[in-house]
Structure 1
Amino acid sequence: MNGSEIFKINTQSEFDAQALKVFRHQYRTNTVYQEFCSYLGKSDANVDEVSAIPFLPISFFKSKEIISGDKHPETIFTSSGTTGSNTSKHFVNRLSLYEESFRHAFELFYGKVEDFCVLALLPSYLEREGSSLIYMVDDMIKQSQHPDSGFYLNDLNGLRNKLIQLDTNGQKILLIGVSFALLDMVETNTLKLKNTVIMETGGMKGRRKELIREELHSILKEGFGVPVVHSEYGMTELLSQGYSKGNGVFETPPWMKILIRDTEDPLAYQDHKKTGGINVIDLANIDSCAFIATQDLGKTYENGTFEVLGRFDHSDVRGCNLMVL
């Protein structure tokens, strides 16, 4: 599959058709996924609707090579982890698919990246190799073509001065940062920004006590002087992102969809507004697995938006013992 057709999806019926097409391709060419589906009694012969497609537990990316088709990765994205812990590995055969996915999605939600000066405060990601987030933000910095776009590691004063200068001059700014670093910045600086989008990527990465979203966003809004804080929902195992423009309510691009599974029965789904495990369909994941059961908790709404409410306490969630090969 060349993959370009997924970025032309406009309707639910087109999404469903492409999802089933990708499922059949991955069932036939991904040995790990085929074995998992067969264990559940599912195959390309008896799955004829999206709700019947099996979702691979995200933990498989830590122990298996999840590849559809031949293995010829252009890169391997890896997750962060504590010393000695297993990390996820996402074998990416075509970086062009990832680039088209995040470029197209950003433009759908925010317009052309060339209109922004992109500033990145992602120390925990910069300090290691293999981060898909760093790859995406680095590309956005280059695509913006703004002379002041760039990464900031520990120079919070330099970042503060640059923000004030650019914002005062009316320049549109995207400041994308990991939560603990954004908090570090507002602890020593209080700003009043008018032309800046503050986008947090989540996670304290062991540097600070975890905060609930409302508390985190309240501190950041006051510190940066902005009315809302935006968020990005992505992960090593995906090639697409969801975006929130405030209040923690996320939207997805047309080739990505969120379903909520029952925490008591991982093969059943919850209705809208009911909390459960987040299952992600990411059709950009053509060369790995497009159907992933994450360890996040959330809920969806009738208009296709969703919220992330937390994570399961342990990876061996009830029912997931049925999902180990």
Structure 2
Amino acid sequence: MRRLPPLAAVRAFEAAARHENFTQAAAELGMTQAAISYQIRLLEERLGVPLFRRERRRVVLTDAGRRLAAVAGRAFDALDGAFAAIRAEDEGMLTITTSYTFANTWFAWRLGAFQLANPEMAVRLLTDDSLADFAGEEVDVGVRTGLGEWPGLAADLLFRVNFTPMCSPAFLAEHGGTLRPEQLLELPRIGPDDPWWETWLKDAGVAVPEQQAPRGIRLGYQAHEGAAAMAGQGIAMLTPFFWRNDLAEGRLVRPFAQLSTRGWGYWLVYAEHRRLVPKIRRFRDWLLAEVARDLAALEAS
């Protein structure tokens, strides 16, 4: 068991010994001169020897004080180096966790721009639809979908999730060039058991049969469903934000202007106590700007 004196007293002594001036030590540590004197007096009482001699308007280290100052200085230098190494290691790697859909439909295409803007930082992307444990896992930030309420996490809204049916131009032409919402009950749907279908159809005024077994293929991820829609395999319920480029370049079309939502959004999340960590702040600012730019382009299209 270590029998060390209070760290606050040792810290005050080390600063005062380095400057041989209580006033300068107090300024460095953000303390008052009286507080520095008090901490050093506690240390002297603990050791049973004086560490400073008071001479007129200055203090001078005693022999015991000089020996202790050398050891304390090396110890604080070692601690400072260890903490600096940890900080540098932490700043050198940004670990991001997000869902498969967000990663593959939008994020992975843009992450390289952040890496180029921050060449000193390695970026690791973890794709998993389960929620990361920020307390127990080595994760810096995440992108989650939900209502934005996760205890212990700060959450910045990226965008609200909305959805509408999309298909390939060839699929639309094959079915007459225009569609009515009620026709969707009979057409091959991609991901037909997705609850978004029922929400969108009800918003469009279509009565959805309760016992109907919907036709279509089940792929599980919006990234797969969008790719299948572009291949002409059916009509998919997709989020326009993720498919803006495919819509603009004609690989997908929106047969209906109607957008529906269930109130959820995509959020950038990180541990509340790490809000001011530089690499997290840099990534947050970059991601919010990227999303805002694409949202503006989508609204203008």
User: Structure 1 length normalisation: TM-score?
Assistant: 0.22
The structure that has the greater radius of gyration is 2
Normalised TM-score (structure 2): 0.24
Structure that is richer in helix per residue:
2
